[in-house]
Amino acid sequence: MKKSISTAVFIGISALSLAACSSDRGPKHDRNDHRHSAKSFHKGGMAHGFKDLNLTEEQKTKIRAIMEEGRDNRAQQPESNRREALRQQIDHYRAAEQNLLQAPAFDEAAARNLISLREQDRETQRRQHAELELKQLKKRHAVFQVLTPEQQQKWLEKQNKRSNDKQRTHHQQHTR
């Protein structure tokens, strides 16, 4: 009985840690902010960070075009497919762990193989995340180049203020 409880706890902890490590996205609120921003561009509006820069119609058109670029690639694999693939991966790892745990003798080679597979998947996800980050930086650079020097300065000041506000909020939350 004790063995089956500890096995269940071990599997649960492993699954949770795998899910946490597998995620290539930030916290939920960050995803929602990004989606909101993308939706406002998609609907023809401007993202919140650009509203008070007094953009010309030409600038707005150029920025919208930049933001739309590459969006089709993301739509090729819907969110539900990505979630299902992750769910299947977690189920595969869980089944492999259960097989290891239920075997009469510990199979170190199989355990090392499972760990190696997990590490490979984490590395693949890390590379994918880095590529996504690179694409986003390229887009932000292209958008920044559309702005006039005055708008660029104003935008940078807003970004610095926003960053400082986030740091202050983060610090306040962790010093309570």
> CA 94, CA 99: separation in Å to the nearest integer?
9
| Residue 93, Cβ density class (10 Å: 0-12 exposed, 13-18 middle, ≥19 buried) | buried
Q: What does the pLDDT read at residue 48? A: 63
Confidence of residue 170 (pLDDT cuts 50, 70, 90): confident
User: How much is the pLDDT for 15?
Assistant: 45
For the stretch 28-37, pLDDT in tens is 444 444 444 4
- pLDDT greater at residue 7 or residue 144: 144
- Of 164, 139, 144, 163, nearest to 154 by C-alpha is 144
Q: DSSP strand E in 5-129: where? A: none
The predicted-structure confidence for 90-128, as pLDDT tens digits, reads as follows: 999 999 999 999 999 999 999 999 999 999 999 999 999
63 compared with 13, residue with greater pLDDT: 63
Q: What is the mean pLDDT of the chain?
A: 76
Percent of the chain with pLDDT over 70: 67
Q: What is the pLDDT of residue 148?
A: 93
pLDDT digits (tens, 9 = 90+) for 150-165: 999 998 988 888 888 8
Predicted TM-score (pTM) of this structure: 0.58
